[in-house]
Amino acid sequence: MRYPSGRHFLQIPGPTNVPDRVLRAIDRPTIDHRGPEFGRLGREVLSEIRHIFKTRNPVIIYPASGTGAWEAALVNTLSPGDRVLMFETGHFATLWHRMATRLGLQAEFVPGDWRHGVDPALMEAKLAEDKARSIKAVCVVHNETSTGVTSRIGEIRKAIDRTGHPALFMVDTISSLASIDYRMDEWGVDVTVAGSQKGLMLPPGLSFNAVSEKALAASRHARLPKSFWGWAEMLEANKTGYFPYTPATNLLYGLREAIAMLLEEGLENVFARHNRHAEATRRAVRAWGLELLCLNPAEYSSSLTAVLVPEGHNADELRRVILEAFDMSLGSGLGKLQGKVFRIGHLGSFNDLMLAGTLSGVEMGLELAGVPHRKGGVQAALDYLAQEAASQARPAARSAA
């Protein structure tokens, strides 16, 4: 294995490349979490983070990684034996379903092929069937990190609305928030689950529940046992910028910096950048003659792209070759996709040339690992990126004239 000179390419779909500004923000002495300086920090991040979720409702910040926020969403709103409807869009949806079951919920798991998002029509049908309104919540993963497939949250909301069903709508945005357009309030989501280590460009260690009025109302009667995850005490303490137990202060420094960076760039520009990189990646994949896991173009993920390796080849061997030769980490196939796909993360703090380096590593790796493919994937991506850059540069040139 070559000595790792230069920068590692961390192209898994999260944790993502933490920008130096964020790392330096984190690398400061911890302060008194009950003192006035902390109060200012707390009030600022609790207020600003809402822009990222596009919500006016409160956002709860846990000193815990993302999986904890899944649990928080469930235990705060539901009671033992409650029916919830979940959809098998991939590995993480599967894990969330398993969690719900473990916590004592009656979690129905609508089967899926891991190549499509949640079908709004199916959601509508399922809820329409539930005449007794016994389903208390429907849970959807916005962007399946294991497959690179998104679900259309806005359309699903409309499908729910058509049934008039009162179930809570919970959405996991762990690998979409701050990367793919997401509108909590507009789309009527009741609980949004998120984590720090993807589009928010932080190390892992913070997770989020953004909660609607309706979710708050539900939480007052929910009987699943809870303490650490309890919303009520959090919201009470958060009013003044504090937390009911020791917060992850240093990550909050980083969060403040990350939010500032996202707002400086502009969320719509952030989304456009991710869309551009995803499209460039797909063009490369097609040029290589490889197959995208995601089958529905309306559900392509802008955070990551999962690519099938041809029958008879092992994606993990390809990943090993690429790591050893080019010091790049790619995402593995998870669960039933193990060995069958590799995942290219192109989210977070990222740019065109980093993507070009990433795709170059994949193209060279395919050759080294003997995976059948055509050359020219990088070239296809560059053609597209250059064209996009040209179209962006032009109006500016005009306005300068």
Which 124-153 positions form the footprint of a copy of itself (CB under 8 A)? none
Residues 62-121 that bind a copy of itself (CB under 8 A): 62-68, 70-71, 75, 80, 98-99, 102-104
Does 285 help bind a copy of itself (rule: CB under 8 A)? no
- Which residue, 68 or 112, has its beta carbon nearer to a copy of itself? 68
Tell how strand 291-292 and strand 168-172 pair up. unpaired
Reduced to 3 states (helix: H, G, I; strand: E, B; else coil), residue 178 is: coil
304-308 and 341-345 beta bridge pairing: antiparallel
Q: How is residue 111 written in tokens? A: 């089967």
Q: For 152-187, b where at least 16 C-beta lie within 10 A, e where not — what string?
A: bbebbbebbeebebebbbbbbbbbbbbbbbbebeeb
C-alpha span between 309 and 321 (Å, rounded) = 14
Residue 212, SS3 per DSSP: coil
> Binding to a copy of itself by residue 179, rule CB under 8 A?
no
Q: Is 275 in the site for a copy of itself (CB under 8 A)?
A: no
Is 238 a residue that touches a copy of itself (CB under 8 A)?
A: no
276 is in an annotated binding site: no
Query: With binding defined as CB under 8 A, does residue 283 bind a copy of itself?
Result: no
Segment lying near a copy of itself (by CB under 8 A), choices 157-165, 213-221, 290-298, 318-326: 318-326
Q: What is the residue whose two structure tokens read 């939010």?
A: 259
With CB under 8 A as the contact rule, the residue among 156, 326, 341, 342 that binds a copy of itself is: 326
CB 340 within 8 A of CB 5: no
**Site track for a copy of itself across 239-258, x = CB under 8 A:** ------xxxxxxx-------
Q: What is the per-residue binding string for a copy of itself in 36-55, x denoting contact by CB under 8 A?
A: x-------------------
Q: Which residues, in sequence order, are bridge partners of residue 61?
A: 208
d(CA 33, CA 41): 10
Residue 10 sits in the site that holds a copy of itself (CB under 8 A): yes
> Which residues in 181-220 contact a copy of itself (CB under 8 A)?
195, 197, 203-205
Place of tokens 């090993």: 320
Q: Contacts with a copy of itself in 357-396 (CB under 8 A)?
A: 357-358, 360-361, 363-364, 367-368, 375-376, 378-379, 382-383, 385-386, 389-390, 392-393, 396
Asked if 399 interacts with a copy of itself (CB under 8 A), we say no
- The C-alpha atoms of residue 134 and residue 81 are separated, in whole angstroms, by 11
Closest distance between a copy of itself and the C-beta of residue 85, in Å?
18
Neighbours of 241 (CB within 10 A): 17
Nearest of 278, 360, 282 to residue 326 by alpha carbon: 360
What are the binding residues for substrate? 343
Q: Detail the residues annotated as belonging to a binding site.
A: 343
